[in-house]
Amino acid sequence: MTLERYVVLRTPTLRRPEFGTSAFELAAPAAPEAVADLQIEAAEMTRREAGGLRRDPAVLSFAPVMPMKLHEPLEAEAGPEVQATWGVGAVGADTSPFDGRDVRVAVLDTGIDSSHPAFQGLELVEKDFTGEGNGDKNGHGTHCAGTIFGRAIGGLRIGVAPGVKSPLIGKVLDGNGRGSTEEIVRAIQWALDEGANLVSMSLGMDFPGLIEALRASYPPEAATSLGLEAYRATVNLFSRLAAFARSRGELFQATLIIAASGNESDRPKYQVAVAPPAAADDIQAVGALGEGANGLVVARFSNTKPDVSAPGVAIQSARAGGGLKTLSGTSMATPHVVGVAALWADKLLRSQGGFGRDALAAKLIASGTHEPLAPGFDPEDVGTGIVRAPQS
């Protein structure tokens, strides 16, 4: 029988309730070890063997290892010289009294050019999950990191939360922008263990690539069915992992996971819905906005049904190798949202001494506004609107 590689989320301390367990006991909060322990396994097995995992009470979720890729950005022209990029200004970061200090941010992407001036003085914590080694042979991760916490370059502010001091850089995609769910799931666990408050992912499942590969071995109907089954299992895998992070936050550090919605739409011809992992429960999906004649407009490529939106067209940020580069994509919008979330976390830390995951998510989502948007937009394309940094 054909072997496939599966990734499995297992909680060995989570037991099936014994006969006679009272409703009161079932409703009681889980012990710390019940949410602290999470084992991620990956192994070759047959479909029948994988199906048997459903009967194991310690298995939270499992799915075949799926190809993942960065949301390919589009080249764009730089705007006029200003003191801050238009995205930093549009979210109100340049007028916010907060800078993200004491907030731990994890960027799961293609790595980072640690020698870039935008990251000098930072205590970068890097971990490679690709086997390629640390660094950034693609440039995507460097650009995204620059938007979140990069220092000013040539007098231009590119970072939404430049006070972040010790970011986590998980390299989950190689120089070609390719990876798999296995690396990403392991990187999320690493980020949680390292105390990340925010996890940024500007990447998605390569569903068209999966279907194309399946059609090489199966009839179209079978390939589509197998692809949809894998898609559903992948969404569930990320949903359960995000739910684990949410439960863990009730006892340890709060962690909010934010991901790009994807660039597969081609407006006005058609719109594509949010892609995994952003499609999973408890992960905040981000859409992209650009500047229009009468206000902000939904980017042509931006997938529909995001939770929130942010600037994602003609965004200047750090270029791997030095200098600046201007790109467009939901990949560019996501770091703006992560940066704004860091500013809200900073405010909650200063005013309350701490914050919960749900409280931070509520602040971020409630900060969204439709006010700067040009007339005629569809609310399903923008969620609560463009996120805004706290102003006091």
Residues 70-103 pLDDT 10s:
887 887 766 665 689 999 999 999 999 999 999 9
DSSP 15: -
Domain identity same for 344 and 294: yes
Phi-psi region of 215 (alpha: psi -120 to 50; beta: other; left: phi over 0): alpha
Q: Give the residue among 74, 190, 167, 77 at the shortest CA–CA distance from 118.
A: 167
- Whether 221 is covered by a domain: the verdict is no
Domain identity same for 59 and 110: no
- Whether 88 is covered by a domain: the verdict is yes
On whether the CB atoms of residues 207 and 227 are closer than 8 A, the answer is yes
262-273 pLDDT tens trace: 999 999 999 999
- Whether 214 is covered by a domain: the verdict is no
- Whether 228 is covered by a domain: the verdict is no
Domain region containing 55: 4-64
How long is the chain? Answer: 392
Domain identity same for 34 and 119: no
On whether the CB atoms of residues 247 and 355 are closer than 8 A, the answer is no
Q: In this structure, which amino acid lies at residue 140? A: H
Domain count across the chain:
2
- Whether 80 is covered by a domain: the verdict is yes
- Determine the Cα–Cα distance for residues 258 and 88; give it in Å rounded to an integer: 18
249 by Cβ neighbours in 10 Å (0-12 / 13-18 / 19+) ranks as buried
Domain identity same for 91 and 184: yes
Domain identity same for 60 and 96: no
What confidence tier does 18 reach under pLDDT thresholds 50, 70, 90?
very low
Domain identity same for 177 and 280: yes
CATH at residue 297:
3.40.50.200
Domain identity same for 33 and 155: no
Domain identity same for 135 and 32: no
Phi-psi region of 355 (alpha: psi -120 to 50; beta: other; left: phi over 0): beta
- Whether 235 is covered by a domain: the verdict is no
What confidence tier does 391 reach under pLDDT thresholds 50, 70, 90?
very high
Phi-psi region of 353 (alpha: psi -120 to 50; beta: other; left: phi over 0): left
Domain identity same for 78 and 103: yes
Domain identity same for 139 and 43: no
pLDDT, position 20: 45
Domain identity same for 11 and 140: no
Encoded tokens for 30: 């889980």
Domain identity same for 86 and 133: yes
What is the pTM (predicted TM-score) of this model? 0.91
**Residue spans of alpha helices (H) in 302-356:** 330-352
- Whether 216 is covered by a domain: the verdict is no
Mean pLDDT: which of 37-51, 223-237, 333-347 is highest?
333-347
Phi-psi region of 273 (alpha: psi -120 to 50; beta: other; left: phi over 0): beta
Of the residues 64, 81, 112, which one is the last residue of a structural domain? 64
Higher pLDDT, 65 or 25: 65
